[in-house]
Structure 1
Amino acid sequence: INSDYWRLSDIQKKEFEGKSIKKNPVSRVTVENSRKTCTRHYFLPRNDDLIRVCRKFYLTTLDIGSKRIRYTEESRSGSLLAARADRRGSNCSANKTPPRLLKIARKYIEDLPAVHSHYCRSRSSKKYLPAEWQNFSNVYRKYRQYCEEKNYQAVSEYVFRKIFSTEYNIGVHSPKKDKCSICLKFGALTQPTEEERREYE
């Protein structure tokens, strides 16, 4: 019985317990002010029949504790014999960012005007944003402005930073060795044209 019981899924175990434990109202209260409102009868299968056993024998045979029985009873749907399905993992976390918002954030990052370092491009694939972007806080601020204009919901700064730093190889500050006249000229352009960008690259 023990091995058959533990081969069952959690839902099947609850159904087995629901069928093998019978609750009956207390017919007579023997202790004054007793809170006991019902009594339980325990049964275990033998051949094609159910044999009544004591509570200790029932728990020992199945190798379960009394908390398991209370958990099953509390999870029943009203008067239904079968226990409710285990709902763990069926509900999305309230703090989880919807995939649609993550997609918008990634698209915004991919459209940023990031370019390769002038001197380091042969040794690194990292790209850098123009000087006017200043720092990450400014990048996130511009992203929020973009979302407001498009009527999108912005992800949190924590989520945006995590995507920016782990999924994309983009820097906000250019390396010091990269300060040549060409880069300085390009960095001074607030809105470089496509032709100017190609010339820089």
Structure 2
Amino acid sequence: MFINTLAVTTRILKTAWKKYDGSTIIEEDQRGRHDNHKTILTDSMIQSVCDHVRAFTPVESHYTRKSSQKLYLPGELSIAKMHKLYLEWFDADKYTCKASKERQYRDIVNSNFNLGFHIPKKDQCDECHIFRQKKNATEQEKVAFEQHERNKKIARNMKSQDKKTAVESNGKVVTAVFDFQKVLSCPHGDINVFYYKRKLSCFNFTVFDMGKKKAVCYMWDETVAKRGANEVSSCLLNFIQAYVEEGVKEFRFWSDNCAGQNRNRIVYSLYVFAAKKFNVSITHRFLQKGHTQNEGDSVHSVIERTSQPKAIYTPDEWRLLARWAKNEGEPYSVRNVTNNDRIKRTYLK
């Protein structure tokens, strides 16, 4: 009855009775209470793991990392893969002890580094996520969220209408979305030595014509230019000029709300300059914050998916890969941006 009531085994009961000495005090459990514990993490082991992590070259993200102290490594890495690389990298002549278990390696990394892996940001709205986590939202919060949802639907409906207008205009109206792809690093590939090399950042600014379903990829590396408003304006000016020569009279652009790249006076000044020079109408609308998914994202997805099994050593190889990444239909138009034709703070070729 006692065993069934407590749902214990007879061994527990026998052990407790064996320790009973006639008083109500039971002998204290002595398991683990000794001084001859085996040291699992030695100083040499910790030093070897830390040196190995520092041997990796951090990558620059498409998103700002100025406010974060994290060490960002390539997204194709993981703790498990780093441990396999560590076992190959380990030098027995330099270190006396090795972290042979993945758990040891993981514990040392977590204790000594604020480590993160650069994985493309998910298209998840912060405002929507926060609101859904609230169990008892106030009326003011509910009203703000409903307005946020309405703005999202209005922006998407307007973009769909602009796309329809461009298709029916017979080449007189262009509706396009534009955005930067995540940073493309050189060298890139699933080769162990690449993870320890200094990375050269390459940029891809994509303008996608939704009416004709054509994409133009403006590509350059960090030795040529940055990825701010000046570069965006330069690429858009080149795009507008090319379409004006085909007889386009009106441009309708869509983008996200990034102030440093799209929503600023430099881009606005470019529109004023282009509208006056080419005698065209230019409209720029912005998608609702957190819901900036658009047709141009498919271009970036195709390029990244195509690059996964390949080794890429130079920026020229990124341009070739983007040019032939699309298997069906018209290939992407890739334009190599240089600093040889710098006119009024623009980078054109």
- Which TM bucket (shorter chain)? 0.3 to 0.5
TM-score normalised to structure 2 length: 0.26
Return the structure number with greater helix share. Answer: 1
